[in-house]
Amino acid sequence: MERICRECGAPLTGRSDKKFCSDGCRTSWHNRRYCAMLSKAAAVNRTLMHNRKLLEAVYDKGIRRISLTDGALAGFDIRYFTSVETPLLRSAVYHCYEFSYVLSRGKLCRLAKAT
Ligand SMILES: [Zn+2]
């Protein structure tokens, strides 16, 4: 079975564990993978920052309990948070950067800001 370069598809010669025909192809392949990874990470960060911005706006209005369907939370994505505490026998507390909240019956409750 002919072995080929992962980047350009050129036939490989030499060592049996060789994956690229040249240093240039190895660098190109790794750079492309790294860029793809950065792009995915950037999308997650954008969603987290959007969630944080909405939480801050709601918090600054003095609101500590709000329906997830309220327009003030338009675009809030509950799948994204920075950490979660799951205390035994109590509701999970979600964190989005310095903000924390509990989700209950379609509402975001106990919104707090770490100082
Ligand atoms: Zn190559």
Instruction: Express each pLDDT in 57-99 by its tens digit.
Output: 999 999 999 999 999 999 999 999 999 999 999 999 999 999 9
- Could you tell me the pLDDT band of residue 10, with boundaries at 50, 70 and 90? very high
Taking residue 80's Cβ as centre, other Cβ atoms within 10 Å add up to 17
From ligand 1's centre to the CA of 38, what distance in Å? Answer: 23
CA of 4 to the centre of ligand 1 (A): 8
pLDDT of residue 1: 80
What are the CA-CA distances from residue 108 to residues 8, 20, 24 (Å)? 51, 52, 51
DSSP letter at 105 equals: T
Distance 28 CA to ligand 1 centre (A): 9
Distance 34 CA to ligand 1 centre (A): 18
CA dihedral 13, 19, 25, 30 (to 10 degrees): -170
Distance 114 CA to ligand 1 centre (A): 52
Structure tokens belonging to residue 55:
């939480």
Domain residue spans of the chain: 48-113
pLDDT, tens digit, 9 for 90 and up, residues 15-48: 999 999 999 999 999 999 999 999 999 999 999 9
CA of 89 to the centre of ligand 1 (A): 57
Mean pLDDT across 44-56: 98
Mean pLDDT across the stretch 6-20?
Answer: 95
